[in-house]
Structure 1
Amino acid sequence: MTKKIHFGWFSQYAGPVGFNNPKATEGADWRQPDMYQKMAQICEKGKFDFALFADHLGISSDSGKSIDSHVLQGVTVCHDSTVLAAMVAAQTNHLGVGATLSTSLTLPYQLARQLASLDHLSKGRVAWNIVTSYSKSAFDNFGHDSVPEHDARYDQADEFMELCYQLWNSWEKDAVVMDKESGMFADPSKVKPIHFEGDYYKCAGPLNMVPPVEGKPVTIQAGSSDRGMEFASRWADAVIVAKQTVDDMKIYYDSLKGRLHKYGRNPEEVKVLFIIKPIFAATEELARQKAAEPVSDYDLHRAISQLSTRMNRDLTQLDLDEPVPTMSEKEITGGQTTLSRHQTQGQRPTLRQIATKEVVGNNLDIVGTPEQVADQLQLIMETIGGDGFVLRVNPHEHQYMQEFVDMVVPVLQQRGAMRAEYTGHTLRDNLLEY
């Protein structure tokens, strides 16, 4: 039986990054909703599961230095992802919409209420991309003197999740009556305070909004570190991750799925989706030519700034053409596996090679005709037992996504490797469809 593949769209920067790319849609304005709504509609035409918007809570600098390079390139300038998700949900009917919200810099009550509202307004299509945040600029903006240690942020996140779930459960499933005759909206005996007191949070409850459509929103997480994977195993409905080789994907997939039994979870209920951006064209020769196109110095240096932000390390001082020094993941206060995923199997790539990979986004070097790309995607899924992919595509790049939907998706659909129509009503329905 052909294994079906889930697809999502990941917008890493919902802002000006990419506005000057020659492949950007003419006239697209990152400040207006149309650009994101149009891209989401293309994804919905392709029967994707969701669109996920990253978020950034401050203009970063290179290891505490000037913010000038980030301002110059528009790095970490972006919309609030919750507002953006709502705008996109209003112009789609089936596609899930994912907002990125921090457990370190958001109040649990506020988040639980926002997501419950957005889930009802989108008819059960909201996803919460859970992050703990690592940018010093973000913590500075919220009045914190320092960035907590990596694992400590996850300890706080565990308690954050426990509190949110108690708030969503503060209303029993049948609490809402809506009896017009008696005038009773809800049964008071079924809506109760929670009186939560933990190491990080205190909250009386109950929530003053009814729980999400299915009791809780779909949760997405991108943890690649050991502690991050443990967190995802406990709380996530889907995990998105970037890996450079099929072997590394297999190791991650098996490790993540193998942890789920500890929390009494069915491995089929947690989807592992790998970040990719295939290069394809009508002929293999044209696809190879596309893949060989050089990356501009502008994009290269922007990628290095982005890597510095993710790692909370200044990489701009390193030699572009020397191998990047190996760093212990525990020494990195930001995304701990940002570097190590490029230094697998004894490889020591240069900063130029790593930054180029980040710009192109073509993890696994998936290149060819639409049929060849479909072959590679199917083979990867069959080899690792995975669940699907997310395409990391700039929201300006409508043409790329349109061509993927028009050229690659039909091949997969004809082979029975992807849904041809939506059968569910909610995002969770679509994720659990296969």
Structure 2
Amino acid sequence: MTNKIHFGWFSQCAGPIGFDSPNATEGADWREPEMYQKMAQICENGKFDFALFADHLGISVDSGNRIDTHVEQGVTVCHDSTVLAATVAAHTKHLGVGTTMSTSLTLPYQLARQISSLDHLTKGRVAWNIVTSYSKGAFDNFGYDSVPEHDARYDQADEFMDLCCQLWGSWEKDAVVMDKASGLFADPDKVKPIHFKGNYYKSAGPLNMVPPAAGRPVMIQAGSSNRGMEFASRWADAVIVAKQTVEDMKKYYDSLKEMARKYGRKPEEVKVLFIIKPIFAATEELAAQKAAEPVSDNELHRAITQLSHRMNFDLSKLELDEPVPVMNEKGITGGQTTLSRHQTAGHRPTLREIATREVVGNNLNITGTPEQVADQLQQIMETIGGDGFVLRVNPHEHGYMQEFVDTVVPVLQQRGAIRQQYTGDTLRDNLLEF
């Protein structure tokens, strides 16, 4: 029996995507807080570890340098994830909340200060989802002439992380005294400047906000490329990744854990969580009917637009029903494994097939009754070795998440495969519980 399974919720877009879905909750409005708060409360009832909100810093353009398609479909229109995470945290008690912030388009001092504040205001439940950003539209918005090369962004990110950690370390753990009798707030001998100067950044320090209670926040990353995995194994507490086969999941899991060892970390300190969205129903027949439901043209084309944004490459130039060519991933400035994870075992799917998979989200074809889905999830974890899953569910889809929590979660709890109650006070406690 493997360790218990961790679960998280990943909201790929805290915006209008999904407003027109037949599965969208009636009356849910992406602009208002209740939609996200309700979904987070459902996840907390299911004893999930965290809710993670993606973010985008600009409206992307197509190969013709136009924003029309993205505006029409609402792709990359979204809330600021940091503000959203704080709003959700105020309406939950145990669930971790993850904000996505860019190492390329944020200043280290600003980020270190915001995350420190969020850590205290959420009582240790915040997570920072680290991204390097790849959208030309985002870089244009921040005044850059071009998007840096993929690996170069990670080189910059390593220095960014080093600076943040030094800022968080500019206060010793026992620096704050808050002695009422003497009026002494903090010991100045234990709060020091850092005088950081690197290739990309410099900062005098110290931080003017006390650091996170644990010294640094929980950090999440989604590195799939070799350089991304190297970065994740050095810095991340949890990694989220999408894979299409159990074999690829096992390969990724083992590789990342081995990389963590090379950085002097214990493998169990880095949780690997795979992105899924199972299809389930009361009977096998009903589940099969759900799985066979067609994807609408709107959903299909929106998925292609999202994939294009993720890669920083306009996929609409390709034929919809022709096999997608194998690309030189090193030349892709965005997500370098966006396509190759679908091109497994020599199979070259069409763009329609890839986009359909993205809409459905059912990686590994996990389908059946709640008991059968629980069986499959446990078997996957047994084969891989750990650590858990994140459900990529649109925040409009309260019904889907409620049904998962009401039907699949109890089965796993009865089997002792997931927690029945929160035992820790912080997100880090919950991630390291098992």
Query: What is residue 183 of structure 1 aligned with on the other side?
Result: 183
Query: What is residue 260 of structure 1 aligned with on the other side?
Result: 260
1:27-426 aligned at under 5 Å gives the runs 27-63=27-63, 65-426=65-426
Decide whether the 8 Å contact of 2:14 with 2:78 is kept in 1: yes
Decide whether the 8 Å contact of 1:15 with 1:77 is kept in 2: yes
Per-residue deviation, residues 162-208 of structure 1 (Å, max 9, x unmatched): 00000000000000001000000000000000000000001000000
CA distance in structure 2 between the partners assigned to 1:101 and 1:344 by the alignment: 31
Per-residue deviation, residues 93-126 of structure 1 (Å, max 9, x unmatched): 0000000000000000000000000000000000
Shift, 1:386, TM fit: 2.0
Kindly tell me the number of residue pairs found equivalent between the two proteins. Answer: 434
Shift, 1:10, TM fit: 0.1
Decide whether the 8 Å contact of 1:2 with 1:416 is kept in 2: no
Q: 1:119 to 1:64 in 2, by over 3 A?
A: farther
Decide whether the 8 Å contact of 2:279 with 2:366 is kept in 1: yes
SS in structure 2 of the partner of residue 316 of structure 1 = helix
Query: What is residue 9 of structure 1 aligned with on the other side?
Result: 9
CA distance in structure 1 between the partners assigned to 2:2 and 2:350 by the alignment: 39
CA distance in structure 2 between the partners assigned to 1:46 and 1:84 by the alignment: 21
Decide whether the 8 Å contact of 2:240 with 2:273 is kept in 1: yes
One-letter code aligned to 1:37 = Q
CA distance in structure 1 between the partners assigned to 2:359 and 2:69 by the alignment: 17
Question: RMSD in angstroms over aligned alpha carbons?
Answer: 0.6
Decide whether the 8 Å contact of 1:63 with 1:308 is kept in 2: no
SS in structure 1 of the partner of residue 317 of structure 2 = coil
Per-residue deviation, residues 247-305 of structure 1 (Å, max 9, x unmatched): 00001001000111111100011100000000000001000000000000000000000
Decide whether the 8 Å contact of 1:223 with 1:232 is kept in 2: yes
CA distance in structure 2 between the partners assigned to 1:418 and 1:327 by the alignment: 40
CA distance in structure 1 between the partners assigned to 2:363 and 2:32 by the alignment: 30
CA distance in structure 2 between the partners assigned to 1:311 and 1:400 by the alignment: 28
Decide whether the 8 Å contact of 2:2 with 2:381 is kept in 1: no
Per-residue deviation, residues 48-95 of structure 1 (Å, max 9, x unmatched): 000000000000122352111110110000000000000000000000
CA distance in structure 2 between the partners assigned to 1:208 and 1:340 by the alignment: 44
One-letter code aligned to 2:283 = T
Per-residue deviation, residues 135-178 of structure 1 (Å, max 9, x unmatched): 00000000000000000000000000000000000000000001
SS in structure 2 of the partner of residue 32 of structure 1 = coil
CA distance in structure 2 between the partners assigned to 1:60 and 1:170 by the alignment: 38
Show structure 1 runs of 5+ residues with no match: none
SS in structure 2 of the partner of residue 159 of structure 1 = helix
One-letter code aligned to 1:317 = K
Decide whether the 8 Å contact of 2:2 with 2:382 is kept in 1: no
SS in structure 2 of the partner of residue 209 of structure 1 = coil
CA distance in structure 2 between the partners assigned to 1:237 and 1:389 by the alignment: 14
CA distance in structure 2 between the partners assigned to 1:176 and 1:124 by the alignment: 18
CA distance in structure 2 between the partners assigned to 1:276 and 1:326 by the alignment: 24
SS in structure 2 of the partner of residue 224 of structure 1 = coil
CA distance in structure 1 between the partners assigned to 2:191 and 2:315 by the alignment: 52
One-letter code aligned to 1:193 = P
Worse-matched range after superposition: 154-163 or 55-64: 55-64
CA distance in structure 2 between the partners assigned to 1:354 and 1:45 by the alignment: 33
Decide whether the 8 Å contact of 1:224 with 1:337 is kept in 2: yes
CA distance in structure 2 between the partners assigned to 1:155 and 1:6 by the alignment: 30
CA distance in structure 2 between the partners assigned to 1:377 and 1:366 by the alignment: 8
Shift, 1:2, TM fit: 5.1
One-letter code aligned to 1:164 = C
CA distance in structure 1 between the partners assigned to 2:2 and 2:340 by the alignment: 33
Decide whether the 8 Å contact of 1:8 with 1:391 is kept in 2: yes
SS in structure 1 of the partner of residue 316 of structure 2 = coil
One-letter code aligned to 1:229 = M
Show structure 2 runs of 5+ residues with no match: none
SS in structure 1 of the partner of residue 97 of structure 2 = strand
Decide whether the 8 Å contact of 1:413 with 1:420 is kept in 2: yes
CA distance in structure 2 between the partners assigned to 1:366 and 1:64 by the alignment: 39
One-letter code aligned to 1:138 = A
SS in structure 2 of the partner of residue 255 of structure 1 = helix
